[in-house]
């Protein structure tokens, strides 16, 4: 006996493409899409299999986030200015960002 499952699980920083139903049967699948400024990691589909949703994906921010420890570990130094217009404790740095394919 194949079970029916309810709405698909939500995805942080993502949405389900199309209309979301209230019940899904074995073999039904939904497609997730990431919101603006996010990219999909993994397959964008979840499939209803014997009463549960199968599939893993996540939405990753396109923005580069790194802290001082990350920079220090990779020998990246800050470049900053000492003019009167600078904001206290503001450090400006340049990094080259490479785009990867998922």
Domain boundaries, the chain: 14-61
pTM, whole model, 2 decimals? 0.61
3-state secondary structure of 66: coil
Per-residue pLDDT at 86 exceeds 50: no
Kindly tell me if the per-residue pLDDT of 43 is higher than 70: yes
User: In this predicted model, which residue has the larger pLDDT, 67 or 94?
Assistant: 67
Give the model's pLDDT for residue 26.
Answer: 93
Q: Is the pLDDT of residue 81 over 60?
A: no
CA angle, 70 then 58 then 19, to 5° = 150
Contact 36, 13 (CB under 8 A): no
Rounded to 5°, the CA angle 59-63-69 comes to: 110
CA 41/CA 84 separation, integer angstroms: 43
Per-residue pLDDT averaged across 72-81, rounded? 66
CATH 2.40.160.20 for domain 14-61: no
Residue 96 CA, chain-centre distance (Å), reads 21
pLDDT of residue 72: 73
């Amino acid at each position: 006996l194949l079970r029916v499952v309810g709405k698909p699980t939500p995805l942080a920083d993502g949405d389900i493409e199309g209309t979301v139903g209230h019940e899904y049967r074995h073999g039904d699948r939904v497609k997730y899409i990431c919101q603006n400024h996010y990219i999909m990691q993994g397959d964008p589909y979840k499939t209803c299999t014997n009463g549960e949703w199968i599939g893993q994906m996540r939405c990753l921010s396109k923005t580069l986030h790194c802290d001082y420890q990350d920079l220090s570990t990779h020998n990246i130094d800050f470049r900053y200015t000492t003019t009167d217009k600078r904001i206290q404790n503001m450090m400006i740095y340049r990094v080259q960002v490479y785009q990867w394919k998922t």
